[in-house]
Amino acid sequence: KTPKSDGCSLEKYREKSRNQLAILEQVPRVFSEGSLNFSHQEQGRLAAHSLAGNLGIFGFSEGSRLARELEGILQGDTDLGAEQIFHFQVLLTALRDELT
C-alpha cells in the first residue's frame, strides 16, 4: 500500500485524495436525503476519475480499480437506485480501507 514518490509529492497526493474521498462520501448521504442530482453525480464521477488516475500513478492498483468502479456507477444520466448506492457504499468502504 505504499505509494511510489518523494515526501513532498506524497503529501500533496494524500491531501488531494482526502478531498476526493470526501466528495465521494457525500454521494450516499445526499442520496439518503433524497436530493441526489446530476450535479452531485458528476462531481463524484470527476472525483472518482481523478482519484483512480492518481492512485494508479502512485502504485495503488487496487485503490485505482475501486475508484474506477465508483466512477462507473456515477456515469450516465440515469438516477441511481438504492441497490446502486448500496454497491457504491461497499466500494467506498473498501477504497477507504485501501487508503488507510
The CATH number of whichever domain residue 64 belongs to comes to 1.20.120.160
Sign of CA dihedral 37, 40, 42, 44: negative
Structure-block grid coordinates of residue 22: 470526501
Percent of the chain with pLDDT over 70: 90
Q: For position 9, what pLDDT does the model report?
A: 73
Per the domain annotation, does 2 fall within a domain?
no
What is the identity of the amino acid at 17? S
CA end-to-end span of the chain, whole Å?
Answer: 9
What's the pLDDT tens digit per position in 40-81? 999 999 999 999 999 998 899 999 999 999 999 999 767 889
**How much is the pTM?**
0.86
Which structural domain, as residue segments, surrounds residue 41?
Answer: 7-99
- pLDDT given at position 92: 98
- Count structural domains, the chain: 1
Evaluate if residue 10 carries a pLDDT over 90. Answer: no
Which stretch of 4-13, 21-30, 31-40 has the lowest confidence by average pLDDT?
4-13
Residue 1 located in a structural domain = no
Kindly state the average pLDDT of the residues 28-51: 93
Q: How crowded is residue 30: how many other Cβ atoms within 10 Å of its Cβ?
A: 18
